[in-house]
Structure 1
Amino acid sequence: MEIGISTFLETTPDPSTGTAISHAERLRDAVEEMTLADQVGLDVYAIGEHHRPDYAASAPAVVLAAGAATTKRIRLSSAVTVLSSDDPVRVFQQFATLDGLSNGRAEIMAGRGSFIESFPLFGYSLEDYDELFNEKLELLLAIQRSEKVTWRGGHRPAIDNLGIYPRPVQDPLPVWIASGGNPESAVRAGMLGLPIVFAIIGGQPENFAPLVALYKQAAARAGHDPSKLSIATHSHGFVGETTEQAADLFFPSTQYAMSKLGRERGWPPYTRATFDAARSLRGALFVGDPEFVAEKIVLLRENLGVTRFFLHVPVGSMPHRDVMRAIELLGTKVAPLVRQEIARREGRA
């Protein structure tokens, strides 16, 4: 069971002061987070691409490369790369370069993107949303498989037996499919035999069980062994010394960020009651003391069969010291509890 951190490198105003840190400071904080995550035994650190003023993560591979120089074992991933509005050749080159710098620790998490700012920025139409992703994923996987590529599509110039360099240390360079809960995404990932990541930020995680079943069924039909495929989830959360302390620290910035997104997307107001309901044992918020967060991750393993869990922290801007302490507790307290309990239950079975 792998446990790690995901982040969008938020730069929203601190609710207590009304001021926001600079993009440059948040980027430097991310390198410190990666370094600590590596030191405390976490397995992966992932950065999601965004092109907005309230996030500093428009170039995840560059930030991850900075972290590669200060870490030794932790895996470094995007979360996600918005493949639909990017060039698969450049995506592969950037992450192959990261793979070389980190000596084989890079991963690409490819998604269509729930935020759409990159489409007009890079000259793509949202009318081609699905077609762009399908075509560019096809090209990315062709590059993953072969040094020399011949390919033709409708949204990018053709490639005629050209080499793509550098080649990564890992063969193949891992490519994950990221999904917010779309059944078509689960089926696509299964048919391709690719690992999948589900973003679970609302409702009950156990409700994703039918999507996991779809994924495994599609994999089996395509001739892949479902037992060998990795399944990850990503959920908002925070680890504190006590459950109430964790909730009180995490709520203000989360409310600010979620309310801002809610106004953009037509969601209802994000209240403390909404927050408290979501941090119940079967809710989607992984907020609490180490024992409670570990219990929720073990339950997630039982219900969905996940092999990797991402704690997305923070959601809105929080003091850097609080984020670092949450990462420390996740690595030194939560992860050992989860692994011990899984070993006990599955060893006994």
Structure 2
Amino acid sequence: MKITEQIKLPIAQEMDLFEEKFPEAMSSKVALLNKITHYIVNRKGKQMRPMFVFLTAKMLANGIINERTYRGASVIELIHTATLVHDDVVDDSNKRRGFFSINALWKNKIAVLVGDFLLSKGLLLSIDNNDFDLLKIISVAVREMSEGELLQIEKARRLDITEDVYYEIIRQKTATLIAACCSLGACSVAPKDTEGIEKMRKFGELIGMAFQIKDDLFDYTEDAIGKPTGIDIKEQKMTLPMIYTLNQCNPKEKSWLINSIKNHNKDKKRVAEVIRFVKDQNGLAYAEQKMIEFQQKALNILQDFPDSAYKEALELMVNYVIKRKK
């Protein structure tokens, strides 16, 4: 059995029901919108975010969840989908999970409007049901994600990202949404348990940090096609292996590295040399060590909760995040 199927076991029923409910949350009176949202629903990913919502809720409420939990999962998936649609426009990307992106099929203008529509549907789902506590959690996440993207763009222009700034960027860009999943799950079943909600928010944030560092490592390691991609280098994105290496090397090497990233990022041979140099300087080993530190801190938080199938599944999820192959 695949690890993702193992994780889903204690919430299989909830995930099946969620898949029935979610298309309703995206419905519209506009035929074009329904055609596009149908396309999105049929090309969904691993659905890790709803899984975090359900597992957290069930762990805190001894396996008993409610309609608020389903709404929380729908809201997070709507917001996440909206950000992916907008990201593809920003990155001028034609593919998403091996399929054509919305902007590739329907052009940028429609893609931006679809993203806006999904965002508004998510917010209205909370407002219409008076889930203002859930709305606050998700609104903070949307603000932070936008700030994180802009902070990365601002810093990428100068290539002056310190390790602390990098952590702040990935906390806002990636970790904040997973933190929102876990706090939404907790808040949906135990709205007055502020300590439990905060613990699960922190747990999600730590997982999100480990998740993003793992993503950044894929740029330097063998992927499904058998060679490092170097995409982050081509896009002048400063990730942890590179930041560490820049701090370790001598001025001459640093100058060569920065020149390579700024002026030779489309040269395959030069990019391959940069990847090799980062590996030789232990940039990957350092990033892996930091990723494991975040993972261990997340596992430590789970120890505060009694043993259950849901806790076990969350532990599996934490390990999956850093062991996954793509």
What TM-score does the superposition give when structure 2 sets the normalisation length? 0.33
Larger strand share, 1 or 2: 1
What TM-score does the superposition give when structure 1 sets the normalisation length? 0.31
Larger helix share, 1 or 2: 2
